[in-house]
Structure 1
Amino acid sequence: MTLIKVKNIRKEWNGIPLFANVSFEIAEGERVLLFGRNGIGKTTLLQGLLGRHPFEEGSVYYSLPPEEWGVLDQQLEIQSDISALDYVLSGSPELNDLKRRLERLGWLLQESDGRDEALVAEYGEVYERYLQLDGYGWEAKAEKSLGRLRLDAAVWNLPYRQLSGGQKTRVQLAALLARQPKLLVLDEPTNHLDADTFVWLEEWVRAYPGTVFYVSHDRTFIDRTATAVLELGPQGCRRYPGAYTQYREQKEIEARTLAVQYRKQELEREKLLESIRRYAEWFQQAHRAAGQNDFRRAKAKKNVSRLHAKEASLERLELHRVALPQAVPQLSMKLEGEVFRGDALLDISGIRYAYGEGAALLENFNLTLRRGDRLAVLGSNGAGKSTLLKLIAGLLAPDHGEIRRHPRTRVGYFAQELDDLPLSSTILDSLLELPGMTRTEARTILGCFMFPGEEVFKRIGDLSLGEKCRVAFLRLYFGRANLLVLDEPTNYLDIDTREQVEEALAAYPGGLVIVSHDRYLHAAVANRLLLLERGSKPRLFPGTYEEYAAKERSFVLTPDEQSREGEMKLLELRLARLMHSEARETEQEDRELMAEIVELRRTIQHLQ
């Protein structure tokens, strides 16, 4: 059964066209991803389907009433001081209203000492109705849902507006879990979730008995949940079966097929143009040679007929000509680090850190970061990941212990909150403040970062979160840091831009420390993992994210093992340099080189 049928809708925002000619259907039981670049109008399309603003053209058919819909909204605004638990309970409006009436009547009865018979009768009627509708069962289900989303009971009665981004997302998910509506509409459901909730959400969406229509930029989540991808563009949308990986494969096949067809048509077009030119020349020559001879003039006209036939073929070719997809603007970045010949960029010894009088987030913590390290920091929300990054960046000081940085270590820090940007400056002015930066150079670089033309005069404070992310990367681009400390660097970027950032980070010559919920990013970049959990000792995994996912996850490196691993990396680096060095000038020097190589191999084997 078709739940939503959209036909030729068009939407403008402040007079600017977002999309047009958009038509699609969503059938019962599907899990459909709405996919597209930032700014294309994905959230606007969802909001329009929810009836929050009209479309300029087109029609939308619904086969489900609004009460059968469930919505997770990143921009949800609740004006009152409704608590987290009350928000979940409000998923059943009738039961929630009865509960409020019972509470009000109970208070009035207490005021009258139970002597008001009318109040007693009304209380009895409301109570009976509440029992008939299993109101107390609904309350138990709401509390159970909050528990399954790992929300502590101490949070349940806090105002929803005071909750963190991750807590708000989990409260909304708890409300959906309790209701189990037939259609879920989810806008970025994975934002701000910790790893455990992430896994739970994947399993829940994958096994959901209803229909799911959602927007997400997390490729792993898409791969594990989507049954179809709906690609939204300025002039319509296209549907692809399967998840993200299948979508990319199909797009690559389409691109190759179009390229072959385009080249074939271009060759055919060149042949037709050459034939037209040749027949035109032949006609002119034959016509001049025929003079007033009627027989020769008639013969010359044969070339005109052939010329017209070729021109008609060219018109048909142009009418059905294959056009290559228009290139969309892409982030072009290459991160450069200052030349650094030392090994240890930073060494952390026995540090402790706690907020106020609370329990320590980090206790007797040790870590060494070396050139070439790409460390991904994993753990649940509140485990201290962002705190560790701020300690490494020098924004916080440890309560005890020591953080030693090499004199040549230069740290580039990317803040998750994007709160270190000069919001009152324009994009261009923020670049012109850099030493030696000319206006021409700044405009060129901004074009590479997808800020063309007049966009460079936008105030940073007026930018979208995705645009602010790109501005923050500009600062890294010119910072020439040799240690990048990145806290959720791809949170607000679309998938295409994320992949560009991944390529730049993978080629970055310095050290990296990354906190992210994007598992594709970890798989593409990280070569070591640090696992943080509150109440447990930090664990270091000396391998990639894929190896971590495949191996026994309880593997732990002791401080001695961490030191041995670092020493082994140094020796392997030295061995690689010797193996690729040029031949020595004398035979004696060659023998010494070989002896050092043999000794290095023996030492590495012993350490292993």
Structure 2
Amino acid sequence: MTIIRARNLCKEWNGVPLFQKVSFEIRAGERLLLFGRNGTGKTTLLKGLAGRLAFEEGDVNCSLQPEEWGLLDQQLEIPAEMGALAYVLSGIEGLPRLKQRLEQLGLLLREDRRNKAFLAEYAVVYERYLQLDGYGWEAAAERCLKQLRLAPEVWDLPYRALSGGQKTRVQLAALLLRQPKLLMLDEPTNHLDKETMEWLEEWVRDYPGTILYVSHDRAFIDRTAMAILELNPDGCRRYPGGYTRYQEQKELEARTLEAQYRSQVQEKQRLQESIRRYAEWFQQAHRAAGQHDFLRAKAKKNVSRLHAKEAALERLEQNRVELPREAASLRMKLAGGEFAAHTLLSLSGVSFGYAGQSAPLLADFNLALRRGDRLAVLGPSGVGKSTLLKLLAGLHPPVEGEVRVHPQTRIGYFAQELEHLDGSVTLLDSLLTLPGMTQSEARNILGCFLFRKDEVFKTIGDLSLGEKCRVAFLRLYFGRFNLLVLDEPTNYLDIDTRERVEEALRDYPGALVVVSHDRYLHDKVANRLLLLAPGHKPRQYEGTYAEYAQQAHAGVPDSAQQARENELGLLQLRLTQLIQSGIARSEEEDRRLMAEVVSLRRQISELTE
């Protein structure tokens, strides 16, 4: 059964079409990926389908009611004070308002227990809350948050104070609670750690409703998509299967078009040669015939053949196969400033935590960043990765300890929320403020970052998140930083642009620290890892992500773990020798042996915890 039918949709930006002639259908139960390069209008299309903005042309017919839709929004705007649990419950009509009023009346009654008006209103609101099964919904919301591995201590934190991964999981919990018949997910994989990603893949595959989503995670697409809807400025096209099958079909299309194009070029050359030859024959025969009627009639036969070939050439031109123009790619080379010293930055005994948290995110933490370091910070969402980067970038002062920055160190910071960008200025004006920058040079540079023609007059606030990512890299391009601190730099980028960014970071001559859930990025750029885990001390791994993953897969311990295991083996061997040594020769020797046994058992216990 078809639940959405879109016909000839068109959306414009300042009179310029963003996309046009977009037509497609979505059937019940499908898992459909909306795919395309950054700036093609994927988020805009989702919002248009959801009724949040109007299309200039076309129409959308849907068999579902608005309350049966659910949308995961990259740029969700909610009241600053609203907590995670309150947001999850906000999808249930009328429930948050009743819950808030119950809490307010409860506080008022603590101050004045005999107030009859408060008591009467409390009874009415409480009865209505029970009718809506408010406590049942609360329990279900808490189960959803737990299922998405969000700890109870963050449930009442303001949504805006959460990490990117926590925000995504809160939105997923709200959708999980409501179970709408149609889900539209805009980049649901952004900021998610490995375990939550695996859960999301299984959830999407098993979801009883229909899902239309945007993602640039290649593995996730392969594991979840039933079909791909490729969006481009002139329409869209549907491809069955996931990303790998889509690539195969695009390659087959390209080869087929190239073969048709070559064949058409050869046919055109053959027709042009025939036309030239028949024209020459006609002219020669016409001159030779003179006034002889029979010969003149014979010469005209070449004219009809000439006209037939010209008509064939005209038909060929009308049905000409055009090779697809190669899509423009990001061209970016990040220059690093000179740095002669060995250590750019160090953290000594640093502790940091947010107000309201039971335990600090970082405690007695030490780290040194050296020249040539390319450090990847790994760990689940909420463990403090973004907080660590903000400490390195100087955005947060430590509660305890010291952050030492070498005087020559120039730090370039990329924020995952992109909140450091000035949304009120145009792309062109943002460059023209630089000393000596001309409009021609600014346009050339913006072209390298895939902003062309009238796009340079867009305000940064009107850009898609993928386009804002390119603007953030534009700032790094001019900074000549020798230390880059990057928080999820590829989250909103399309696959081709991700690969270009990976190449630029791989060739970057300075040091860098990167937080990302994109293992492809770690494979390309990291030569050292920092592993963070809840309840454990940070652990450093000297080596690449591929080496770490191979050891973890094979169960091979790293050097520190191997040393612990060697020490544990020696202690266990010594304990066995003491127990098997028999009766001691004297009471003093017996006390000494017993003390050593107790000490060995304590050390073994500490190493095996």
Give the TM-score, by structure 1 length.
0.77
What does residue 500 of structure 1 align with?
500
Q: CA deviation at 1:305?
A: 1.9
In the alignment, which residue of structure 2 is the partner of 1:112?
116
Tell which deviates more after alignment, 328-337 or 390-399.
Answer: 390-399
Give the conservation status (yes or no) of the 8 Å contact 2:188–2:215.
yes
How far does the alpha carbon of each residue in 1:130-175 deviate from its partner, in whole angstroms, 9 at most, with x for none? 3xx7554333212211222333434434565665654443322112
Provide the residue aligned with 1:272 in structure 2: 271
Separation in 1, partners of 2:425, 2:60: 42
Output the CA distance in 1 between the equivalents of 2:158 and 2:65: 29
Query: Residue 176 of structure 2 aligns with which residue?
Result: 177
Q: Which secondary structure does the structure 2 equivalent of 1:217 belong to?
A: coil
Q: Could you say what the CA RMSD is over the residues aligned between the two structures, in angstroms?
A: 4.1
Q: Distance in 1 between the 2:338 and 2:186 partners?
A: 43
Match of 1:375, SS state, is strand
CA contact (8 A) 2:7 2:22 kept: yes
Asked if the contact 1:539–1:557 (Cα under 8 Å) also holds between the matched residues in 2, the reply is no
In 1, the alpha carbon distance for the partners of 2:284 and 2:475 equals 67
| Equivalent residues of 2:71, 2:183 under 8 A apart | yes
Indicate how the Cα distance of structure 1 residues 330 and 264 shifts in structure 2: closer, same or farther if over 3 A, else same: same
Name the CA shift for 1:114/1:320 in 2 (closer, same or farther; >3 Å): closer
Deviation of the 1:442 alpha carbon: 3.8
**5+ residue gaps in structure 2?**
564-609
Task: Return structure 1 stretches of 4+ with deviation > 6 angstroms.
Answer: 94-110, 113-116, 122-125, 394-398, 422-425
| Cα contact 2:191–2:516 (8 A) shared by 1 | no
Aligned to 1:577: none
The answer to whether residue 389 in structure 2 is matched with residue 383 in structure 1 is no
CA shift for structure 1 position 262: 1.3
Match of 1:53 in 2: 53
Aligned: 1:254 with 2:258: no
Cα 1:180/1:349, change in 2 over 3 Å: closer
- Residues 496-527 of structure 1: per-residue CA shift (max 9 Å, x gap): 32222122223334443221233332234334
Q: Distance in 2 between matches of 1:305 and 1:234?
A: 44
Change (3 A) 1:435 1:78: closer
Q: How does 1:188-227 map to 2 (within 5 A)?
A: 188-227=187-226
1:186/1:546 Cα in 2 relative to 1: closer, same or farther (>3 Å)? same
The aligned residue for residue 25 of structure 1 is 25
The residue type equivalent to 1:520 in the other structure is: Y
TM-fit CA distance, 1:450? 1.9
What does residue 294 of structure 1 align with? 293
8 A Cα contact 2:351 2:365, kept in partner: no
Inter-CA distance 147–422: structure 2 relative to 1 (3 Å threshold): closer
Structure 1: segments with no counterpart, 5+ residues: 562-608
Q: State how 1:128-527 maps to structure 2 within 5 Å.
A: 130=131, 136-157=135-156, 160=159, 165-337=164-336, 344=342, 346=344, 348=346, 350-354=348-352, 359=360, 361=362, 363-367=364-368, 369-371=370-372, 373-390=373-390, 392=392, 400=401, 403=404, 411-418=411-418, 427-428=427-428, 430-431=430-431, 440-456=440-456, 463-527=463-527
**Secondary structure of the structure 2 residue equivalent to 1:335:** coil
Distance 1:15 1:259, change over 3 A: same
CA distance in 2 between counterparts of 1:115 and 1:458 reads: 56
Per the alignment, residue 590 of structure 2 pairs with none
Go from structure 1 to structure 2 and tell me whether the alpha carbon gap of 1:279 and 1:516 turns closer, same or farther (over 3 Å shift): same
Deviation string 1:554-575 (CA, Å, 9 cap, x unpaired) is 84454999xxxxxxxxxxxxxx
Question: What is the DSSP-based 3-state SS (H/G/I as helix, E as strand, rest coil) of the residue aligned with 2:71?
Answer: strand
- Cα 1:405/1:265, change in 2 over 3 Å: farther
Cα distance between partner residues in 2 of 1:356 and 1:66: 38
Residue of structure 2 in register with 1:587 after alignment: none
Distance 2:464 2:20 in 1: 22
Q: 1:395 to 1:246 in 2, by over 3 A?
A: same
Q: Match of 2:350, SS?
A: strand
d(CA) in 2 for partners of 1:421, 1:60:
35
Amino acid at match of 1:230: L
- Following superposition, the deviation at residue 34 of structure 1 comes to 0.8
Deviation at 1:13, TM superposition (A): 4.4
Residue-pair matches, total: 553
Distance 2:119 2:347 in 1: 71
Q: CA deviation at 1:263?
A: 2.0
Identical columns (%): 66
Quote the Cα distance in structure 1 between the aligned partners of 2:157 and 2:395. 30
TM-score by length of 2: 0.77
Q: Which amino acid aligns with 1:112?
A: K
Counterpart residue identity of residue 35, structure 2: F
Q: Which amino acid aligns with 1:352?
A: V
Comparing 106-115 and 360-369, the one that deviates more: 106-115
Which one-letter code corresponds to 2:116 in the other structure?
S
- Give me the whole-angstrom Cα distance separating, in 2, the residues matched to 1:519 and 1:166: 16
Structure 2 letter corresponding to 1:263? R
Aligned-partner Cα distance in 1 for 2:79–2:344? 47
Give yes or no for contact 1:364–1:401 (8 Å, CA) kept in 2.
no
Structure 1 distance, partners of 2:535, 2:470, is: 36
